[in-house]
Amino acid sequence: MSGPFVGLPTDGHGCAFSPDLDTPACGAPAVVHILSEAPGWGPVALESCDAHSDVARTAGAVIAEHVYGPRCPDDCWTATT
């Protein structure tokens, strides 16, 4: 697969970026939450650090985004979408 893609879900609250499926997620504190329509997955919420936010935005069609905050990831999209 070429280019950024959405991989397996993560269970943490940090940056979910990983260069491939065999490498652990970045894990740095998330600063942005991106709702994207990802090929093969449908709508996904991507937690990203500053360094990986541009990559996250190219992994699918961005629907919405906001600063990652205390309501993320549990109910922030239900209140805004």
Q: Delimit the domains of the chain by residue range.
A: 11-81
Query: What does the angle CA 52 – CA 59 – CA 43 come to, to the nearest 5 degrees?
Result: 115
Cβ pair 33, 66 in contact under 8 A: yes
pLDDT digits (tens, 9 = 90+) for 21-50: 888 888 899 999 999 898 888 888 888 999
For residues 78 and 7, the model is more confident at 7
Position 7 scores a pLDDT of: 65
- Whole-structure pTM value: 0.77
Q: What percent of the chain has pLDDT over 90?
A: 22
Grade residue 79 by pLDDT with cuts at 50, 70 and 90. very low
